């Protein structure tokens, strides 16, 4: 929404194929998932089919995919395996990412055990909490470390992504410390707007906000 999209100053290392429009980036994971589902059944698929299973307009699908190295064959469609690999490459999913989670409450623990993360190459390597009762617990064989040790542990385990699942009050401090420890991207579940230095990308997932938006469309009746 109000992200600084990385690009710090002039000539920065931009992702593979030059910069993709943000709206396109947000759809690539949808296509990727659809292709993984399709992979077993067919070797080729059309923009029409991809549109069908992602809920995106077919012209949109073609436009999005045209930003990648030409992946389609006119009259035939896209090769499922090839396109899948190109999408992975474009998203930077050819390597794995180590992830640290701050907050070992219900949400933090659920995220630690979330199977979808591992499936797409994200490995949870650290979990933090302030509560002495929780420190030392093992969630999914990740021990809960004290928040005081955040910088050391994050650096030690080489986490590149931080997830904030703390109360709102703690979110900014945790973010600052994640960044100080070298984290480059943050996924923030706390209902707070974070200020971070340029070059650090923040995405916010606000669960209450999602329900409030649904409430609006329910029509206040």
Partner DNA sequence: TAGATTGTTAATCGATTAACAATC
Where do contacts with DNA occur on this chain (CB under 7 A)?
1, 21-24, 46-48, 56-60, 62-63, 65-66, 70-78
Q: Is 21 in the site for its own copies (CB under 8 A)?
A: no
Give the residue with the Cβ less far from its own copies, 8 or 149: 8
Supply the minimum distance, in Å, between the C-beta of residue 149 and its own copies.
24
Mark the segment that binds its own copies (CB under 8 A) among 38-46, 63-71, 148-156, 201-209.
201-209
Supply the minimum distance, in Å, between the C-beta of residue 219 and DNA.
18
Other beta carbons within 10 angstroms of residue 71's beta carbon come to 18
Q: Is 10 in the site for its own copies (CB under 8 A)?
A: no
For 56, which DSSP code? -
Give the residue with the Cβ less far from its own copies, 57 or 149: 57
Q: Which of 46, 67, 107, 146 binds its own copies (CB under 8 A)?
A: 107
SS3 186: strand
Give the residue with the Cβ less far from its own copies, 132 or 208: 208
Alpha-carbon gap, residue 52 to 42, rounded angstroms: 15
Supply the minimum distance, in Å, between the C-beta of residue 116 and its own copies.
4
Supply the minimum distance, in Å, between the C-beta of residue 76 and DNA.
6
Alpha-carbon gap, residue 188 to 166, rounded angstroms: 9
Q: Which candidate, 143, 138, 192, 145, places its Cα nearest to that of 164?
A: 192
Give the residue with the Cβ less far from DNA, 62 or 157: 62
∠ Cα 15 18 22 (to 5°) = 80
Supply the minimum distance, in Å, between the C-beta of residue 143 and DNA.
41
Site residues for its own copies, 61-100, by CB under 8 A, read: 89-95, 97, 99
Give the residue with the Cβ less far from DNA, 23 or 115: 23
Take residue 35 and report the two structure tokens written for it: 């292709």
Number of residues that bind its own copies (CB under 8 A): 71
Other beta carbons within 10 angstroms of residue 107's beta carbon come to 16
For 79, which DSSP code? E
Q: Strand 44-45 and strand 77-79: pairing?
A: antiparallel
In sequence order, what are the residues at sequence separation of 6 or more whose Cβ sits closer than 8 angstroms to the Cβ of residue 207? 189
Mark the segment that binds its own copies (CB under 8 A) among 41-49, 66-74, 103-111, 170-178.
103-111
Give the residue with the Cβ less far from its own copies, 153 or 163: 163
Phi/psi of residue 199, nearest 5 degrees: 100, -20
Q: Which candidate, 175, 162, 97, places its Cα nearest to that of 127?
A: 162
């Amino acid at each position: 929404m109000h992200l600084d999209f990385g690009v710090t100053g002039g000539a920065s290392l931009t992702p593979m194929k030059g910069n993709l429009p943000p709206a396109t980036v947000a759809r690539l994971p949808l296509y990727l998932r659809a292709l993984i589902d399709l992979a077993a059944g067919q070797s080729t698929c059309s923009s029409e089919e991809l549109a069908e299973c992602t809920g995106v307009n077919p012209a949109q699908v073609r436009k999005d995919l045209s930003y990648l190295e030409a992946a389609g064959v006119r009259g035939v469609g896209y090769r499922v395996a090839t396109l899948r690999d190109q999408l992975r490459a474009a998203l930077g999913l050819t390597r794995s990412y180590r992830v640290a989670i701050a907050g070992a409450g219900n949400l933090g623990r659920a995220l630690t055990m979330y199977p979808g993360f591992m499936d797409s190459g994200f490995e949870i390597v650290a979990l933090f909490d302030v509560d002495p009762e929780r420190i030392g617990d093992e969630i999914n064989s990740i021990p809960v470390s004290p928040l005081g040790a955040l910088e050391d542990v994050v650096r030690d385990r080489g986490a590149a992504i931080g997830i904030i699942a703390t109360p709102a009050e703690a979110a900014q401090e945790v973010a600052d410390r994640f960044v100080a420890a070298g984290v480059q991207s943050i996924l923030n579940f706390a209902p707070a707007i974070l200020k971070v230095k340029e070059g650090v990308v923040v995405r916010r997932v606000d669960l209450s906000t999602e329900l409030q938006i649904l409430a609006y469309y329910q029509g206040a009746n």
